[in-house]
Amino acid sequence: MNFQSPIYTEKTQCQDCYKCIRECPVKAIRVENGHAMVVSELCVLCGHCVTICPAGAKRVRDDKARARQLLSLKDRVVVSLAPSFASEFSGINPGQLVAALKKLGFYGVSETAIGADLVSSMLAEDFGSRDPSSRQKLFLSSACPVAVEFIKRYMREYAPYITDRASPLLAHARYLRRELGPDVGIVFIGPCIAKKREADVWKTVDCAITFRDLKHWFEQAGIDPARMDAGNGSGEFIPERAAKGSLYPIDGGMIAAIKKYPGSDGVHMMSVTGLDEIELAIRGLEPDKLTSPLFMELLACPGGCVNGPQTSHHAPTAIKRIDLLDYAESARETLDAARPEMGDTLPVALPTPISHTDEEIRAALRQVGKLELQDELNCGSCGYDTCRSFAAAMLDHHAERTMCVSYMRKLAQKKANGLIRAIPSGVVICDSSLKIIECNENFARLMGGEIYSMFEAKPGMEGADLEKITGLSRFFRDVMSGDGPDAVEHELREGKKIFHATVFSIEKGESACGVIQDVTAPQIQRDRVIKQAKRVIDKNLAVVQKIAFLLGENAAETEASLNSIIESFTDLEDAGE
């Protein structure tokens, strides 16, 4: 069996944009060699990174192969179908969907909502039999595995308030094994990635696939549910249809289902969807100060399971909600069925929290050039809310220095500045208005006189007008014009000097760079003679190869003469003349 994390990164697709880090509510992302990897021990499987990754690098484990293997190994395999199918397969009769699933090879299809009904009746009974003098006033739902993991990992002080009741999936799987026998295979199909972890943990569920997996499976098998015939009882749910547990995929649905059973009077109930909203609703809440019992229905996906990470997102939430309500309208009010064992919430392995001293944080910040408080921009481009959070992530080996945009920008500027200073030629960069962005000392020295004094007063000469300094400015206009060349080479006489300029576009129409040499300088003259001599040799030898029989010994004499010129100038250069 493949027990890799239900969410993983396809490294070849990751574009290093860090959007997943910015969007992850729990920062369960580690950057390794520039790639954003999911940290499974921190991830709550909300699936948000899968939804928002622009490159599609965040992937969901495909368990269709496990489901197919189960079909080949067991005589009877039953689908536990999430109630949000009513909105995901809108326009398709439930009977047609059941018939299509049977055509794939499943023995039958049962609604996970049956498990939701069992949970609803159990909680209503718990509330009704509760001792009025009980000190516990806060009750957090255990139906959503993502919400359960989120609270147990990141809001640990509220974990004791999670109701010790099975999730709808676990309750349904136990119910099916009691009704159909322990050897029946069970495959969950729904919108939730976290159900894959439930299937990994609870051996009562054999595997979990998503709605997207199912649609791909239908395509591969050439099955169109909309064309299926649901007659002769082939489209009926087993062992029976669910009741108002069908409302669980929308906010407030669990509360509505619980209220169908006696016992919840006197208990305040509220629904909260979205991990950020859950934290806002609970963080800072002091349960002992509640005057009446409060039950909170918690759903990790905004709007409920109808907006799960593996659902189609083309329909508005309002339409999805209406589809769900329409389907649940025809369901019974309650389910009269004996409950299986209803205990157990999803177990969560808690990593040992790591704390860092202020000095360790400051040392990490210094690695990215943040020496003072004002250097901490908290721009969020790295994916973390603050520079200190980023520093902590570096210490935890979840982040790399290269993720800091301001650090990389400064580093690039330092490297560029170092190269410009080291180049023996004059270098000047200007913008579309021919205002200098930066220049090196050699450029100012070539221009001489007042220009060099200006450079000494203001190194780089930022903002100076290039047109007032040199006639070379017109070559900059050439490369920055929309239809002009990307690079030009020209020579220009200014006074007693002859300048050779190579001007190229950095950003078309916005900025350009010029590399300038004084060809009247002795060193430049020698370099030019050597360069021109080599050019003549190359051209001459090319001709020799084609018409050697015509040139004969004359070609060799020419090459020898030119080489002697080069050697003479090279000897002078080596001698420092």
pLDDT higher than threshold 50 for residue 552: no
pLDDT band at residue 130 using 50, 70 and 90 as cut-offs? confident
pLDDT higher than threshold 60 for residue 183: yes
132 Cβ contact list (under 8 Å, min separation 6): none
Q: Return the beta strands (E) in 126-183 as ranges.
A: 138-140
pLDDT higher than threshold 80 for residue 106: yes
Q: What is the pLDDT of residue 241?
A: 94
pLDDT higher than threshold 60 for residue 557: no
More confident residue, 545 or 86: 86
**Worst-scoring range by mean pLDDT, 50-54, 223-227, 317-321, 519-523?**
519-523
DSSP string of 299-363, one letter each residue: ESSTT-GGG-TTS--SS-HHHHHHHHHHHHHTS-S---------------PPPPP----HHHHHH
More confident residue, 428 or 403: 428
Q: What is the pLDDT of residue 482?
A: 77
How high is the mean pLDDT of the chain?
87
Q: What is the pLDDT of residue 551?
A: 44
pLDDT higher than threshold 80 for residue 155: yes
pLDDT tens digits along 33-55: 888 899 988 999 999 999 999 99
Q: What is the pLDDT of residue 538?
A: 64
pLDDT band at residue 537 using 50, 70 and 90 as cut-offs? low
Query: Secondary structure of 502-567 in the HEC alphabet?
Result: EEEEEECCCEEEEEEEECCCHHHHHHHHHHHHHHHHHHHHHHHHHHHHHHCHHHHHHHHHHHHHHH
pLDDT band at residue 542 using 50, 70 and 90 as cut-offs? low
More confident residue, 402 or 64: 64
Distance (Å) of CA 511 to CA 60, 198, 386, 478, 535: 44, 57, 33, 12, 32
Mean pLDDT of the 282-287 span: 94
pLDDT higher than threshold 60 for residue 242: yes
pLDDT tens digits along 305-359: 999 999 987 789 999 999 999 999 999 999 999 999 999 998 888 877 788 898 9
pLDDT band at residue 302 using 50, 70 and 90 as cut-offs? very high
Q: Hey, what are 230's tokens?
A: 């649901």
Mean pLDDT of the 6-11 span: 91
